[in-house]
Structures are given as structure tokens and as C-alpha cells.
Amino acid sequence: MPLNFLKRSFLPLTWPCAILRDSVDFMSYLALARKYRPRTFDEVVGQEPIIVTLRNSLERRRVHHAYLFAGMRGVGKTTTARLLAKALNCAKGPTANPCNECVSCVEVQSGSSMDIMEIDGASSGGIDQIRELREIVRYTPFRDRNKVIIIDEVHMVTTPAFNALLKTLEEPPPYIVFIFATTDYRKVPATILSRCQQYYFRPLTIPTIVQHLRSICVKEGVTVSERSLHQVAHLAAGSSRDSISLLDQLIAYCGMTIKYEDLSVILNIIAVEVHERIARALAAGDGGAILKEIGQMVESGYDLINFLHDFESYLRQLLVVKVTKDPVKILDAYEEDLRTLTEVAALFGEEADLLRYLQFLMQVDASLRYVHNPRHLIEAGFLKMCQFRLLVPIADAYRAIEQAAKKQGRS
């Protein structure tokens, strides 16, 4: 779903106090996403080709001196960079299976190793800092085998700074390994890219995220339905970190038993049943029912623009159900939801009808930035869509005109 996760995760005002009070026992608390940061290559999920390649290069002692890890937020780039650093410097290594016990492993894990430098490209990517880095690179590691330099958000490094780095990057001292991470590799100059081995981290699939969340819930002793995990995975839109943070938020509110009904309140999402009711009303041309639903959403404090985006996704799901025989793979929808989707899709005659609704909704979406009150535009849009069912396909209209003309000719 094209959801704006951050915008949605503001807590509804009715319940924050209790949660904040409970979670203020915070000194011992570690966010789940941090607690479950993989400690070994095996624990990294959904990035098998990358992990296999890195493991092989460690075992065959063919570790490159510069890597670029690219991919969307929260898919394992920093995690893998730290794992590679750990594997290179483990006292029992270099090894694909770092021991997690030696001083070096423990220090890398806690982020205190003197030989692993993590630099934020956004705040420290100026020419002066990169010149400093060039100096640091010249000194051998303090204690361990390698000096690993991880530059996060490397696309934020300035052009002069990149240029200052080129020579070092091409022929660094033998103990140096650079690992660059970025969410936007298109902004990294080609001169830098061509000096690195490039790895593209994939967004995680819904089943992978569900499985990962399930394993965390088991370890934490949390009871949660498969359907809820599916919903969380959809919201996370491919990011493992986002999915775990959402789970954390749910546990903060629900405790150790998460109910599906609580999801829409906590995550500020509109329940799928609302979309279903609106789609049914749309198919029946019942504008009044739709306005009532919109009114209720406004009263409950839902963001109508988010609703519009979600309804677009819902229409897309209906369309997929209509045009494919095996929608499960494309939609990754929960089985129960799929049954209802098929039922609702059947209410819309042709695939072209659904396409028309979807296209129109996208136009409404694009026009939102020009209006003062989105509610007015969204309501007007839905009322207009209610009239679509009265439209006649152009071929039929043409045929009717032709027939009428023939009749007139005869009389």
C-alpha cells in the first residue's frame, strides 16, 4: 500500500497517557528493532543473494576494498555493513561466522570498536571531513585486522568531497575496507560507483515480513493473529524496521495480546470494512451512504487524504482480483480478505469500470494540492463516480445513434 507510515504513526490523542506512563520504565527498554538487529548473517532475512555472496567472499578470502549497499530504508544495509565489519575483524576470522564473543565482536556489536568508523554522510560529508578521513586511512588499525569505514547516506556527500576521496578509494591501504550505504544510489557519482562492488538490497516481501514478525512475537511472548501481522506488513511497505516499529507500537498499547480490531485505532488506519462498504455503495451509486462514511471518518479524526490513498489501493486490489485468475501472488492479501474482495469486485460489471474509477481517483488525488479543503474535493469526486454507472460505453452509444439514424431514414 502506498502509505505514509510516518504521518500515520502519530498516536491518537485518546490513549497516549497510559502508554507513555507504562513505557516510561524506559531505561532498561530497548526498541524491538534494535533488540532484534541480526547478530549473524543467518539472521538477516530476505537478502539471500547478498548474504551468500558476502559469506563466500569471506570464506574465499576475496573481500573487496569498497562496497556500496543500496536500498530503501530499514532493509538491512547498516546491519549487513556491521556484520561484514565484525566478520573481518573477529579474533577467529576473517570468517563468515563471527564468534560474537571476542572483544572485537562485542565491541562492533555495541558500536564501540576503535577500528570501525561509522560516518554520517549527511552531516559529515563535507570536503574538510573527507580530507580528515583520508588522513585517518593512512594509519594502521589500532588493534584489529582491518579498519572498516562505513559511510551512511553516502549520496549526501558533497561533490568536492567525493572527488577528494576518489584516489583513496581506488587504491586504499590493504587493511582498509569502505562500506557505503545509501537509500538513493542514483545520486552517487558514477566515478564512485565504478570503484565499488554494488549490492542492491530488496524491499522485503509481505510473507518475509510476516514470518519475521511472527518469530519476534514468539520470542517476546506476544499473541497476535496472522491477519494483524499481514496488515502490519502491508503498512511497512517493504521495510523491516518499519514493520518492527509498528509492532512495538502495538505492543505498547495492547500489551501481550494484540487484537485485529485495535489496529485501526492505534495505527490510524481505516479498517478494510470501511473500504468495502464504500466500494459497495459506489457500485450501487449510493452517494448518500458514501458521504455518511466520509463524515464518520472525519469525526473519528482520520486523515481523508490517507483514506483516498488507501481507497486507491483497495480499488487496485479489486481490479487485480477481476483481471487475474491467481491474484494471491500479486496481492499478498490475507485469505479471508481475498474472498470478500472477489465478492465486491463482482459488483462492478467490467474491468473497464474499475479502471475508470481508479483513474478518476488518481486525478482527484493529483488535484488535492490546489484545493483549500480536501474534504470537499473528495466528496465531490465520490459523488461524481456514483454517476459513472449511468455512463454508456461509447461503442454502444454510437450503435444507438446509428440505429436511430437508420430508423429515421426509413420513415
Ligand X SMILES: Nc1ncnc2c1ncn2[C@@H]1O[C@H](COP(=O)(O)OP(=O)(O)OP(=O)(O)O)[C@@H](O)[C@H]1O
In the bound state with ligand X, the residue whose beta carbon lies nearer, of 113 and 240, is 240
- 240 is a site residue for ligand X (CB under 6 A): yes
Residue 239 CB, shortest distance to ligand X, in Å, is 7
Stretch of 77-85, 112-120, 154-162, 209-217 lying at the interface with Mg ion (CB under 5 A):
77-85
Residue 105 CB, shortest distance to ligand X, in Å, is 17
Instruction: Identify the residue among 3, 81, 105, 148 touching Zn ion (CB under 5 A).
Output: 105
- 54 is a site residue for ligand X (CB under 6 A): no
In this structure, are residues 167 and 135 in contact, taking their beta carbons and an 8 Å threshold?
no
C-alpha cell at 17: 497517557
- 72 is a site residue for Mg ion (CB under 5 A): no
How far is 93 from 375, CA to CA, in rounded Å? Answer: 61
Stretch of 40-48, 96-104, 174-182, 189-197 lying at the interface with Zn ion (CB under 5 A):
96-104
- 78 is a site residue for Mg ion (CB under 5 A): yes
How far is 347 from 240, CA to CA, in rounded Å? Answer: 36
Instruction: Identify the residue among 241, 272, 307, 320 touching ligand X (CB under 6 A).
Output: 241
* Alpha carbon separation from 253 to 8, 16, 224, 225, 248 (Å, rounded): 15, 9, 13, 16, 9
In the bound state with Zn ion, the residue whose beta carbon lies nearer, of 99 and 338, is 99
Instruction: Identify the residue among 33, 90, 320, 341 touching Zn ion (CB under 5 A).
Output: 90
Long-range contacts of residues 221-227, Cβ cutoff 8 Å, at least 24 apart? 221/256, 222/247, 222/251, 222/256, 222/257, 222/258, 223/256, 223/257, 223/258, 224/250, 224/257, 224/258, 225/258, 225/259, 225/260, 226/334, 227/260, 227/334, 227/336, 227/337
In the bound state with ligand X, the residue whose beta carbon lies nearer, of 44 and 320, is 44
Residue count, binding to Mg ion (CB under 5 A): 1
How far is 255 from 224, CA to CA, in rounded Å? Answer: 11
* Site residues (vs ligand X, CB under 6 A): 33-34, 36-38, 44-47, 73-79, 181, 183, 240-241, 244
* Site residues (vs Mg ion, CB under 5 A): 78
